Amino acid sequence: MLNESPRIAGTLNAIRRGARDAEIIVVDGGSSDASVAIARPLCNVLISASRGRARQMNAGAGASHGDALVFVHADTIVPRTFANDIATALSDPAVVGGRFDVKLDASAVAYRIIGAMISIRSRISRTATGDQAIFVRRDVFDRLGGFPELELCEDLEFSRRLKRVGRVACLRTYVTTSARRWGRDGVVRTVVRMWMIRAMYLMGVPAARLKRMYSDTR
């Protein structure tokens, strides 16, 4: 997390409701607001790491003890069936990991369409965005070397590697993530920018260059 004081309590409370026995680890990337104070009593472990989603997620994985890892962004709300959905998917030994469908926390038609399109694209490509609560078996995560520590697209690259080693479960249960990025920058501009980043990365443009081109992405 990074400066998520308005949202982190809701995220952590939802995880606890949906996964009562989970080991909840929060990784702070240097928050200057009240995020740490809010999160500390709502999780099992709170650690600090260098800022960056990949670095923070890898640090959280390194501090954990479970056989399955789930990565939830600080502005994402998981369903009450969270743990059961993951356990059911991983009961198939051929499944190495997976993700949830996603919807945005805004009711306008445009936002509903965006959520549906992200989920459909993900189902077809068997890749996921970080907003979709990616989960993975620990041994597979370790074998893949964790998230590649890229400036952007670490979720896409990890998903591409994941699907090469086994079956990826595309759950139809929804997680709900913040629409603030689209609301702040405009729906059309944000959609075009995200598709451009994805396309350029897949064409081989280095993540560091994409970060410089789209400096407000994080």
Least confident interval from 91-105, 111-125, 140-154, 197-211: 197-211
Residue 39 reports pLDDT greater than 90: yes
| Cα gap 96→69, rounded to integer Å | 11
**Is residue 218 a part of any domain in this protein?**
no
In single-letter form, the type of residue at position 183 comes to: G
pTM: 0.93
Supply the range of the domain harboring residue 137: 8-213
Give the Cβ contact number of residue 32 at 10 Å: 9
Residue 120 domain flag: yes
Asked whether 69 and 96 are in contact (CB, 8 A), the reply is: no
Give the pLDDT band of residue 36 (cuts 50, 70, 90): very high
> What pLDDT does 189 receive?
87
For tokens 């929060």, what's the residue? 26
User: What mean pLDDT comes out for the span 190-215?
Assistant: 81
Residue 38, in any domain of the structure: yes
User: What CATH number did the domain enclosing 53 receive?
Assistant: 3.90.550.10
Give the model's pLDDT for residue 11: 98
Provide the residue type at 130 as one letter: G
User: For residue range 189-202, what is the model confidence (pLDDT) as tens digits?
Assistant: 888 888 888 888 88
Counting the structural domains of the chain, the total is 1
pLDDT value, residue 212 = 74
pLDDT attached to residue 217: 54
In a domain, 3, yes or no: no
Q: Is 1 part of any domain? A: no
Average pLDDT along the chain: 93
Q: pLDDT, tens digit, for every residue of 46-83?
A: 999 999 999 999 999 999 999 999 999 999 999 999 99
The reply to whether 200 falls in a domain is: yes
Q: With bands split at pLDDT 50, 70 and 90, how would you rate the model's confidence at 26?
A: very high
Residues 6+ apart with CB under 8 A from 94: 166, 167
Pick from 52, 36, 69: which is nearest to 144 by CA? 69
